[in-house]
Amino acid sequence: MEDVAIRLAEPRDAFAVAALTLQDDRECGAAVAPGFLDTFADAWLADRARVTLLAEAVDGRPLGVVTAAVVTKLPSSRRPVSRWLHVSLLFVTADARGGGLGARLLDALREWCSQNDVQRVQLNAAPRARSLYVRAGFGAPADGLMEWRADERVEQRADQRPDQT
């Protein structure tokens, strides 16, 4: 995989990023809606708070992508302003897997972080990808990290409704 270049994606790469995302969705069993490539490319182009690194073969064929949202904490008297990333996708095409390209994409993302004053990177790891992230130095977040999910709250309310029969 030494002949693969990794670079910051540019607007001209919108459809390549969309196509890689579509491949990931299909591999995960998702049904892809008509017009997905255009819809995704438009949304990606409009999202300026996102970092996307693209891996390409010598012939320009896209082989992998990592994309992450940049989050900036607002100023506070208790802590300095800080920035962090939430990785939403790391994907390598089937024909490019097994050669370390995923690790190289993560290395390039960490390099981008060091050049852009980003303090940390977080992600939700699929079970099949956990070993890659552990090898790349990712671990469990602090014990105090909590989250709320709207979809779970909706399910809880539905479960608590009286029977209407």
Banded pLDDT at 140 (limits 50, 70, 90): confident
CATH class of the domain whose range is 5-160 = alpha beta
Domain ranges of the chain: 5-160
Q: Are 45 and 30 in contact (CB under 8 A)?
A: no
- What share of the chain in percent tops pLDDT 90? 62
Rounded average pLDDT over 48-64: 95
According to the model, what pLDDT value does residue 21 have? 97
Rounded average pLDDT over 29-50: 94
Distance CA 86, CA 70 (A): 7
Q: What would the pLDDT profile of 79-110 be if each residue is shown by its tens digit?
A: 888 889 999 999 999 999 999 999 999 999 99
Q: Are 70 and 83 in contact (CB under 8 A)?
A: yes
